[in-house]
Amino acid sequence: MEGAMYVKKIILCLVIAGTAMSAFAERLNKTIMPSTKEGKYNESNPITVGQLPYLPIPSGREDYAFLQSIGKVTNVVIGYFMEGERRIVWISDSNSDGTVDTGMIYYPETKKISKVQDIQKDYSPDKFAALKKEIISGQSKNLTLNPEGALYLKKIIESKSALVKKVRYRNGFRTLVNDPDDTTTHRVMFYYSNNEKSGGGSDLVFQVYYHNQGPSMIAPVIPCNVYCKDSSDPVVVEAVNELSKFTGKYFGE
């Protein structure tokens, strides 16, 4: 009797293991599916008004927002596709003084571009700073953001999960988060470094390769929704210093 029960347990374990291996094999054969209908965002190319018609258009009704800060120029782009007239809003600070100098709106349906009528009212320095902080944090009451922001990063660092890999990057860190279903694959990458001592600005990059949706891997509309390279933007510099200090606390300098 005990022998029969033992055999049944072995068979059950083999069935479970076989199911898991089958799901894993199915996953390995899948490719990352896009979330865009058309358009592309190359984060290393500074945004200009001429690029607005070529920015991503989601496949579904999905908003997005991203922050780009290269040198002294800081750009925020918000795509509104869930409600109302579909539009892409671009606001830009050309000299890292925290004041929006340019604001344009692109309407994909009509291909028209217009100016933001009242930049100082709609995007005052305080509102602009708050907007950048929200995108970096990954949380907002009004915007749809990639959730893998600074708050997510802090939580996974605190957990000291085996899925988190940390390496030195310039004067800061590169933190990689592996996929729990395939621990050899990086799902998210963060890197952040204040390079002031070496004569540069601050680097801050949040790259999400895909989200898991059941057995599927779905790329965000904007995989790199925070891209800052040698930035002198005060909000970016503050975020980099905070994240570097936080990471050093848990993983050591």
Strands, E assignment, the chain: 36-38, 57-58, 64-70, 73-80, 87-93, 102-107, 112-115, 164-169, 172-179, 182-194, 202-208, 211-213, 216-218, 226-231
93 CB-contact burial (10 Å; exposed 0-12 / middle 13-18 / buried 19+): buried
pTM: 0.86
- Cα-Cα-Cα-Cα dihedral sign, residues 183, 185, 186, 187: negative
- Residue 68 pLDDT greater than 90, yes or no: yes
Amino acid type, 194: N
Residues 6+ away with beta carbon under 8 Å from 38? 56, 57
Give the dihedral of Cα atoms 156, 205, 211, 155; nearest 10 deg: 10
What pLDDT score was predicted for residue 33? 93
Phi and psi at residue 128, to the nearest 5°: -65, -45
What pLDDT score was predicted for residue 202? 97
- Residue 198 pLDDT greater than 90, yes or no: no
Structure tokens given for 133:
């902080």
Q: Poorest-confidence range of 24-28, 120-124, 182-186, 197-201?
A: 24-28
